Structure 1
Amino acid sequence: MKANQYIIYTLFAALFISCESELDVQPRQREDATISLSTEKGIKDILTGTYAIAATGDVYGGRILVAADLLGQTGSTATTDLRWSGTFADFRHMYAKTMLVNNQFAQQIWARNYEMINAANTVIENISKVASADDKKRMIGEANFLKSLAYFDLVRFFGKQYEAGKNNTQLGVIIRDKAISDFTIDLSAERSSVEAVYAIVISGLNKAFDDLPEDNEFYANKYAAKALLARVYLQMQNYPAARDAANYVIQNSGADLSSKYADAFNHDVNQIEDIFAIQITKQTGDNQVVNHYASEANGGRGGDIHITSNYLNKFDDVNDDRRNFNKINPANNRRLTSKFTSQFGDVGIIRLAEMYLIRAETNFRENTTVGATPLADINKLRTRANAVNFTTLTLARILRERELELGMEGFRIHDIRRTGGSVTSSLPWTSDRLLFPIPLREIDSNKKISQNSGY
């Protein structure tokens, strides 16, 4: 029986190309595994192939962000911030909270992330083929970063929310700590606990931070690992650790806020605010956030997802650039975000603004002022957006600023669950309907795995 049959082991050598000057390189999508594992070039190709998997539209090329925001919407025209008007049934089911076990987009998120994990494990296990000690260290760091990123989103979508101060024995996802090369054997396994998966994520990111350089071109670097740690700790409600990690990135990364809010989006070369971005080109992938959010003129489908007045009404200042960073599509009169208008622009995964929001929230919760006061951090973002500054601050205001600053960037359902919120009165953060089902194909092939409640 072939459990996890969708981990495509032979995708190792797909080349990840970041900039237009490298577009003359022809990517090889498949290569004999024996050749890949026997040479330094083969192992390096496997690592770049891991980035290539991440860049697919199924995951960090866009759909994993879209899924998080659709799950966080009410599905009601009267109350939703974002309205789904597209024709994809699988996204419509996420939006309406009526997912089935054969939801293709949930299945692809599961499969692609496990492909990333398997490829990363393969790099680590075969790193002896690499001659340079510096290259070995960096590559192990990148592999651990990518593996941790995959596990973190798997456990957030397929497992119940981590609850601080509890044992968190609720089922998370399968931990695959060894590379899989033989798919003819029975790979059936039960899901590990949420606690165990988070432990793997934190361990991997700490190793990545130790091994990665400060500057690594467009690939993951030391600050990307620390920034992702800040996000992980925030999801766990470990506020002191999240605060300190976010502060470290702000103080040491050399990143800064873009001078204008609009400058943080729609570019194909990393900008000063980018901590980690997925590089999209005509050769390496398709930008699925653009596909679902943009007009036809900008390479999208005309606005599968569009902004409602409910979202605009959350802004307290009508002059806030974030409120007005959208436009009406003349083809169908839908209001579309301007965050995603470059068909082959990068997909931002972590930007510095998030670190300011994490530091502000965690300092407020802990009654500390590490790095700056919460008010100063929030007003820094509001000043950049030309919004009137606050004179006082509440936790509700900070959480609202996350909605306004990071809207449509893949945070909504995760913030609802970690803060104990609700999508609607009948859909509290604990609802089984806010979790992805374990894919039907995994259930059919894996004799030991348990399905999520309600499916």
Structure 2
Amino acid sequence: MRMKMKRIYYIIFIALLSLTSCNKWLDVQPELEIRKDAIFENEQGFKDVLTGAYIRLATPSLYGLNTTMVIGELISQHWTPLSGTLSAYLSSFDFTRTESKNMIEVVWLQYYQTILNINSILENIEIKKDMFTNGNYDLIKGEALGLRAFLHFEILRYWGGVPANTLPTDKAIPYVKNVTKDPNKLISNTYKEVLDNILLDLNEAEQLLSGDPVLVYSNAVLNSPATLAGVDKTKPYPSDEYHFFRQVRFNFYAVKATKARFCLWTGDNTGALENAMSVINAKNSDGTSKFVLGNETAANNGQLTFPTEHIFAVNNTLSTQTLTSVFFNNNTAYTQNATYLNSAFETTLHASDIRYRNNRLWEVRVIPLAGNFNFFKKYNDTDSKTAVKDIPIIRLSEMYFIAAECGGEASFRDYRIARVLDPSIDGTLTSATAIKDRLEKEYRKEFYGEGQMFFFYKRLNYNKFTWPVVKNVTEAAYKLPLPESQLMFE
């Protein structure tokens, strides 16, 4: 893990919030009240607990696998399901099977346990404000508030209704602001209450992060702490090691990008465009772009998540081992038919697409007695290429898609050029319907294995999938059922 831990308080704290009984939601151990004073006795304790939250996000239970590569991808038909397994159940929108229910509950609880960790920071940081140095009070509180808003929005996008058909008074999800055992604080809020709280936290986070190091230094500098040793003392570098690696922290631009998503979800296209363009147009002090669309060099080096695009990612040093076992085994369900893939990537029209050509994204292997299989390579260290340690959650290309959908379609050309797509598509974005049709194709190509296709379908309430085969879809497929551990409070 690049964010080095100096102490292990966060491990103790996470353990105190772990799942150890049937009454999972309320199982916050009494020792928490004893230990929290020690955990938060100094600034480092706050850093450690927040780092612990990021570590949890990177585990397979959340963005290390389930919420990026499994649930949304299976519902969106991106993988070839194996009969009688979780992959088959989720692909057929069957959330009643034990396997489906277990995964849904794990994800729900992991989300909220991360939120409880964050809330512990926010409950204690005000009374310890004077002990913080180097602007870390604003930085830590801003990250915590932004991350709390982001995670509740993620939960809402999975468990809430289709936005266009959800009333403000409809029950949605709990917006939890405390470390609590009070059942009354775990009851689902209304849809409007959740949206209001998300925006409130995001706005405060944006203000607090107005001094974020990512606004002062380039990502190249922030991702190279070794320069503190004095490689080039003529250049400015942060004096606090906590200020590095902002792309795997909930930074200022992660707030802006989340606002762009939020506004798009709620139908505020003006706000969505404004926030998306603020990320696209972000500049370093020398005038270079803060975030850069991935190019041929990155793709050729196996960096198919395009790290220069990462607005917010999670870092997992074990991702290569974990994901290789998922995607590169002979019994994997996480593969796809070559004919369908050629159709998805429009290979006849876009023969030079940097993601798909030269077998970069998929590798065909012959399995004895089984035939040819396509293995997904986005997250694998293959052919001596760069291993993926940072799993993207928000990328720059999504901001281009949001801009294109909300009136900034001219910016789509930059994305098209970066991916080396055929220029003929530039002239096709002449109506809202044409833009939506093009974006459906591009979301699939761009975010294969990242979970974003599901949210595109849900937001626009698609009632039929046309790829890989025609499949009718009801609204029920877009709303994960509340787990049993939550139903007791409803």
After TM superposition, the score normalised by the length of structure 1 is 0.78
- 1:58-101 residue CA offsets vs partner (Å, 9 max, x unmatched): 1122210121111122xxxxxxx4312398x3443212211127
Identify the residue that residue 58 of structure 1 maps to in structure 2: 61
Identify the residue that residue 407 of structure 1 maps to in structure 2: 448
Identify the residue that residue 155 of structure 1 maps to in structure 2: 156
1 CA distance for matches of 2:416 and 2:297?
10
Alignment of 1:71-220 (within 5 A): 71-73=75-77, 81-85=78-82, 89-100=85-96, 102=98, 103-127=101-125, 128-130=127-129, 131-132=131-132, 134-163=135-164, 167-180=167-180, 183=181, 186=183, 189-212=186-209, 213-215=212-214, 216-218=243-245, 219-220=249-250
Structure 2 residue 263 is matched with structure 1 residue 281: no
The residue type equivalent to 1:234 in the other structure is L
Identify the residue that residue 13 of structure 1 maps to in structure 2: none
Deviation at 1:205, TM superposition (A): 1.8
Structure 1 pair 354/264, CA: closer, same or farther in 2 (3 Å)? farther
The residue type equivalent to 2:64 in the other structure is G
Identify the residue that residue 7 of structure 1 maps to in structure 2: none
Structure 2 residue 265 is matched with structure 1 residue 235: yes
Structure 2 residue 259 is matched with structure 1 residue 225: no
Deviation at 1:339, TM superposition (A): 1.4
* SS, match of residue 313 in structure 2: strand
Identify the residue that residue 312 of structure 1 maps to in structure 2: 342
Identify the residue that residue 385 of structure 1 maps to in structure 2: 419
The residue type equivalent to 1:388 in the other structure is D
Highest CA radius of gyration, 1 or 2?
2
Equivalent residue in structure 1 for 2:394, among 339, 343, 350: 350
Alignment of 1:411-430 (within 5 A): 411-424=452-465, 427-428=472-473
- 1:12-55 residue CA offsets vs partner (Å, 9 max, x unmatched): xxxxx326xx4998786215334214443322221111112211
Deviation at 1:379, TM superposition (A): 2.8
Deviation at 1:305, TM superposition (A): 1.1
Structure 1 pair 201/289, CA: closer, same or farther in 2 (3 Å)? farther
Structure 2, unaligned runs of 5 or more: 14-34, 215-242, 284-289, 382-386
Structure 2 residue 363 is matched with structure 1 residue 322: no
Kept after mapping to 1: 8 A contact 2:162/2:479: no
Q: Report the aligned-residue RMSD.
A: 3.0
Identify the residue that residue 11 of structure 2 maps to in structure 1: 29
Structure 2 residue 379 is matched with structure 1 residue 340: yes
Structure 1 pair 319/431, CA: closer, same or farther in 2 (3 Å)? same
- 1:159-190 residue CA offsets vs partner (Å, 9 max, x unmatched): 102228x743222111212222xx4x545743
1 CA distance for matches of 2:66 and 2:2?
20
- 1:112-160 residue CA offsets vs partner (Å, 9 max, x unmatched): 1101211111111111325126111111111012211210111111110
- 1:269-290 residue CA offsets vs partner (Å, 9 max, x unmatched): 99322111100114xx787665
Kept after mapping to 1: 8 A contact 2:304/2:355: no
Deviation at 1:261, TM superposition (A): 7.7
* SS, match of residue 55 in structure 2: helix
Kept after mapping to 2: 8 A contact 1:234/1:242: yes
2 CA distance for matches of 1:286 and 1:179?
34
Kept after mapping to 2: 8 A contact 1:157/1:436: yes
- 1:328-384 residue CA offsets vs partner (Å, 9 max, x unmatched): 133462212321114762111111111111111111xxxxx4xxxx1x433322222
Identify the residue that residue 22 of structure 2 maps to in structure 1: none
Identify the residue that residue 362 of structure 1 maps to in structure 2: 406
Identify the residue that residue 237 of structure 2 maps to in structure 1: none
2 CA distance for matches of 1:360 and 1:290?
35
* SS, match of residue 80 in structure 2: strand
Equivalent residue in structure 1 for 2:328, among 295, 298, 301: 295
* SS, match of residue 171 in structure 2: coil
Kept after mapping to 2: 8 A contact 1:90/1:104: no
The residue type equivalent to 2:414 in the other structure is K
State the aligned residue count.
398
2 CA distance for matches of 1:26 and 1:265?
36
* SS, match of residue 168 in structure 2: coil
Deviation at 1:441, TM superposition (A): 2.8
Structure 2 residue 75 is matched with structure 1 residue 45: no
Deviation at 1:242, TM superposition (A): 0.8
The structure with higher relative contact order (CA 8 Å, sep 6+) is 1
The structure with more helix, counted as a fraction of residues: 2
- 1:421-451 residue CA offsets vs partner (Å, 9 max, x unmatched): 12458744x52233211112333xx3x31xx
Between the aligned residues of both structures, percent identity stands at 21
Deviation at 1:217, TM superposition (A): 2.6
The residue type equivalent to 1:335 in the other structure is N
